[in-house]
Structure 1
């Protein structure tokens, strides 16, 4: 149960003044639905209204606060023109300018002949100063209420800055005094304030330096957030390790059959990773291991051999993929190998219904299926295994810790978990996303893989690219044409893809197909199946093809507006080609002029295919928030901490959390009890449920 002292912070944001039903939705989109979400939304800038010049001394572009006498009101002759109010002081005159103004409101706010203080940005128009829509207009008796330093917050369309400021001014007094959870000497060594003082100071910056990540108040809050993350992962890991596992050691008979059926020998990295997995499965506690491997490094084979270890010992295994396309693909890849070994393999997705589904469930429960591949349909209530010993989860960054736990509950407490990701992740992020796991790396490509020839061309040569497609088609190539990310919106992305599809179809006819995120799953799968079968030669797509689609005959990848994609995404997309033995190419089309970051990305893409190097570069260029592509990333979304700028804090939080878990695993000590409050504050409630007494 969340401590009562925190209740006011978890009230809905609409309970704050100024946030009505319309703004509530916008606040939720910007920060989240609760008061605490808004409190974690820190200022990104500062308006300084302390400059008090006379009109004659006001500079163009500066924010100025000026005491003026109100003169003539000049209403506009037509609707399109602004309403103007003449004001003056002893040194000169200027105009206040209002668009779409209500004359009665302005007459009341600025009565002719009155004295007022106006504050806003000065602009010179035809040589004379003016102030358009002053931020503040107050009488002389209200001057004390005028904010001289005003925090500026990141906003979303339709949400006024004033509303956010007003809500936060009401939220800050709700902050309770909480017992200190930081280690005293560490707090003192860094010169950090207490939690409540830190949050207040962060929302009331006195200078630009107070907004920097290393400002004491901000650094303190960032460390709190990182510590909550690391401690939660540490507690999950501890619980996983404590749960009795099964000691599983197969005799290798099925594995040998599969290895004999493979067209190539395992790479050194595959053999090493498999040895680590075997040791984990043999140990008496649960395995929780992350298998990181670049596109095409052979993760699926390693996962199959790990699952066979369980099957040889008389248990079942499950493999879960984030999409139906991927689940079907894994099933198709594993099928011939399982047949060679005489292993019973089945597939379960949302599409299996009625009698076929019942037959699968019945066979699963009686032990008639050895390995089940599926989507999150595997989580459903009616899915019961006879004896599940290992769960393999593919593309982990689409699943959270929560789903990891749900799947393992299917096999009872001892189920081993192997998570696979094709997104190479730098060490700092491995700590924040997978701190509860051990990590194996596949850093070699299987033999026979051809490098992909990567080139970049400006978009104004698009016609030449289209004109060159018949040559590629004549060689028997199949082509991916990826349309640009327009904005965080499937709708607009889909429209861009549809437009390109129409243009290419007009030239090439029925061999052009289209797939995007707004299509029904069954329709997407049907198009992908036709592409895999070679009926479709040119596939126009949005980034839905980023993960895992395997069509070895596709050898050309064209990415339009490559400058809009992150490095990890470009690398994932490029990984869709070069999967067979034919020479493959990737063409990055970009809009000129290229920004510095986009130019650096394209340069790295041309220099290397090493996913781990690309991931490190991507982190350096973009920061962690976006690293795994747009919204899907299941990486903890840090509200305050900036992983790249605060690497040292992350390392310190990691060590601190480890020490706490070693010394006080139940969080029973004085500091431990305060740390429980910290976990609740950052909504890491899941971790608290693992404490015996929590």
Structure 2
């Protein structure tokens, strides 16, 4: 065992023999001692505790602990060989329907030899149906007493691990037992100091201090009592939270050490001119956040801030005012969106807000430093260019030239806008419309590629504090509260199509009533084209002509309701044409996919129907709902679903009926889908990689870890006074190292 290799970094090939290391890597992706130790048991079975067979799910991989009730052998009729029929049960509920389970072993020599009535064993396989009853065919099995020495009685709980059909739980257990026996776990750097463990026990009202890391791993994988596993899991979760919080704090301190060019507000510049031309008054929240951002941009250290606000809170306007402040001060700003569709929508939104203050290339570009005051035009103005991969070569070349020369003060594009292929004269501020897809590693890559640049990440989904600390811990948090004047609450109803055809008929009637009253409607589908696997699923291609043929919509206005279509497979020009026609009132009903989720501002749109709404996450539905209610008219959102009464997913949709509180909606979404699903693949690179921390359930632990790290950093010596924690942070940073082209992959 190499002395300079951390215990947890040891390859399993150095600890385990034979084919087992290769199987663990292939089936579970486990390559090192640390990864195997962090493979937490799903549950622990007490000796004598049996599986509730009646509760087994259908068509699922299961691990069953049961007593063998009978074993019999019969010959196969169609070919040579034999079948061993085994019935297992929980004797304590004998005679109750569903308390027993039949299994069939084809040519099961091992089953015939080792299984006998009265034996307790674990069986693993996939449940199937046979003659209306659940069964297992050819399951793997292990006798619970196989690992007990003759004459001994083992009363310790048995850990059950996440496994696969080719790698049963007891094989994983065997590998872990070998690691516990041969590896010196006490060499693992101890991050949990006695003070931290005692403080945590006091704050969480525990009976005793938490175990150290080595003992926690032992208690997790080979507990003497199931009660030992709780403190063990808590200790490992706290350790992980400490390392993550320390790594993010170190990133914050490292970023603050890089100097930035101060960009103070300028009297008579673009920002003041924008405020003067707005047809409404800024909300108190927008003014407060604007002052906070303005002060940070005027400092000599780069801003790193998360701007969190609910749907419709006015984040785009707040960000635009910050961008214009840096342009006023001679810098440039980039607004980054996750997709080209959203980038184009943001570009249109900025041009609409700025009016004559913006040049988009068609009217000629104003200068950044001079603000165009000497080019014959009245008042300040600057270039606002769009840079996307699908642009025509000439348009892209012109936009890039304007950025490189400094003629354009603001650029809008995807993450590729911040890559080495795009040159800015003086990039001062990067605003990222996070949309759950711009992760902590991408932010680090952005900072490394653009040292000293101010960073503002906008999140449209309110996020619980524990999630924000863990996933956005490298950023300071600002919450934009309140809604702009004129925004109306949106009444939401779940349209249960299982109650009969009258339900969806009423949806179309309601849309027709709004169109007849001079308003407009969105109809959102989860798919663009029909799906052969589910022909009943709503899709844009079939829905548009269907709506045109509906009598209610045909009678809604002279000549019938005008139906428009927009989806992500249309080219940019087609999407722009469809969106602009809807915004100008030339289209009554826009049939769309989620390309309308953000950036569409049509005050005259007062009704939205989301078809097969259960296909979407709650946060997405909340975003979609925010497209209506933007004008003075009463607005409604109809969530159509084919789910039957009693289906678990109906509960999620009912949350939207009951509240417009984005934080509660986000919490429900996180609880149902998990952080990784909600925040997206890039964003969840950190969150989904956490092995012990549950960012929702472990909110108190995350807070304790953040407080402990804050005290360490405030002491003035940083992590140098805590070498074990520093070593683990270095390892964590190594695991999250970013390739140079990471941003381009966004």
Which residue of structure 2 lines up, in the alignment, with residue 198 of structure 1?
216
Conservation of the 8 A alpha-carbon contact between 1:379 and 1:406: no
| 1:530 aligns with one of 573, 578, 583 | 578
Q: Secondary structure at the match of 1:667?
A: helix
Correspondence for 1:228 among 243, 248, 256: 243
**Inter-partner Cα distance in structure 2 for 1:202 and 1:287:** 42
Conservation of the 8 A alpha-carbon contact between 1:232 and 1:687: no
* Residue 315 to residue 74, structure 1, CA distance change in 2 (3 Å): same
Greater shift, 244-253 or 463-472, is seen at 463-472
> Is residue 2:699 matched to residue 1:610?
no
Equivalent of residue 458 in structure 2, options 402, 412, 420: 420
Q: 1:136 to 1:335 in 2, by over 3 A?
A: closer
* Distance in 2 separating the partners of 1:425 and 1:201: 33
Aligned residues of 2:440 and 2:683 also touching (Cα < 8 A): no
Distance 1:500 1:653 in 2: 48
CA pair 108-584 structure 1, distance change in 2 beyond 3 A: closer
What is the distance in 2 between the residues matched to 1:491 and 1:427? Answer: 40
Partner of 2:744: none
SS at structure 2 position matched to 1:110: helix
Residue 553 of structure 1 deviates from its aligned partner by 4.5
Residues 296 and 158 (structure 1), Cα distance of their counterparts in 2 relative to 1, 3 Å cut: farther
Report if aligned partners of 1:293, 1:442 keep a CA contact under 8 Å in 2: yes
Please name the residue that 2:375 is paired with. Answer: none
The two structures have a TM-score, normalised by structure 1, of: 0.79
Which segments of 5 or more consecutive residues in structure 1 lack a partner in the other structure? 53-57, 690-694
* Alignment check: 8 A CA contact 1:246 1:414 kept: yes
Name the stretch that deviates more: 449-458 or 234-243: 449-458
Pairing 1:127-166 to 2, within 5 Å after superposition = 136=141, 144=149, 149-154=157-162, 160-162=168-170, 164-166=172-174
Equivalent residues of 1:229, 1:684 under 8 A apart: no
* Range with bigger deviation, 179-188 or 32-41: 32-41
CA offsets per residue over residues 159-186 of structure 1, 9 Å max, x none?
Answer: 6545544554555555742131222223
Q: Does 1:392 align with 2:410?
A: no
Other structure's SS at 1:372 match:
strand
Mapping of residues 291-370 of structure 1, within 5 Å = 291-336=307-352, 337=354, 339-340=356-357, 341-352=380-391, 354-370=393-409
CA distance in 2, matches of 1:113, 1:311: 78
**2:121 match:** 119
Asked if 1:657 corresponds to 2:704, the answer is: no
Answering whether residue 280 of structure 2 is matched by residue 264 of structure 1, we say: yes
* 1-structure distance, mates of 2:176, 2:307: 43
* Cα distance change of structure 1 residues 623 and 343 upon mapping to structure 2, 3 Å threshold: same
Q: 1:511, 1:198 → 2: CA distance? A: 62
SS at 1:220's partner residue?
A: helix
Query: Unaligned regions of 5+ residues in structure 2, if any?
Result: 57-63, 92-99, 202-208, 358-379, 550-561, 740-746
Q: Is the 8 A contact 2:526 2:539 kept in 1?
A: no
Aligned residue for 1:402, secondary structure, equals: helix
Mapped partners of 1:5, 1:306: distance in 2 = 46
**Number of equivalenced pairs:** 651
State the alpha-carbon separation in 2 of the partners of residues 437 and 268 from structure 1.
23
Aligned position for 1:83: 83
Q: Residues 597-636 of structure 1: CA distance to partner in whole angstroms, max 9, x if unpaired?
A: 853x5454334323245445656x5596368366565362
Can you list the C-alpha shifts for 1:529-587, whole angstroms capped at 9, x where unaligned?
52442377555555555444445454322234545654433322211222344432111
TM-score, length-scaled by structure 2: 0.74
Distance 1:272 1:59 in 2: 58
> 2:115, 2:333 → 1: CA distance?
84
C-alpha contact (below 8 Å) 1:457/1:587 kept by paired residues: yes
- Aligned-partner Cα distance in 1 for 2:518–2:589: 11
**Are 1:41 and 2:58 matched, yes or no?**
no
Partner of 2:522: 480
Aligned residue for 1:675, secondary structure, equals helix
Q: Hey, what's the Cα distance between the residues in 2 that align with 1:192 and 1:675?
A: 17
How is 1:427-446 mapped onto 2 (pairs within 5 angstroms)? 427-446=465-484
SS of the counterpart of 2:382?
coil
Query: The residue matched to 2:491 in structure 1 has which SS?
Result: strand
CA distance in 2, matches of 1:386, 1:539: 40
Q: Aligned partners of 1:120, 1:597: CA distance in 2, in Å? A: 33
Query: Residues 358 and 4 from structure 1, CA distance in 2 versus in 1: closer, same or farther, beyond 3 angstroms?
Result: farther
Alpha-carbon offset, residue 294 of structure 1: 1.5
1:271 CA drift (Å) = 0.7
C-alpha distance in 1, partners of 2:74/2:418?
69
Task: Using the TM superposition, name which of 586-595 and 425-434 deviates more.
Answer: 586-595
Q: Could you give the per-residue CA deviations for residues 425-468 of structure 1, whole angstroms, max 9, x where no partner exists?
A: 22222222222222222211111122212122322244324542
Deviations along 1:132-164, one digit per CA (max 9) or x if unpaired, are 867646699876499974322345787654554
When residues 205 and 506 of structure 1 are mapped into structure 2, their CA distance, relative to the original with a 3 A threshold, is farther
- After superposition, give the CA deviation of every residue in 1:330-352 in whole Å (9 maximum; x if it has no partner): 11111240633412211111123
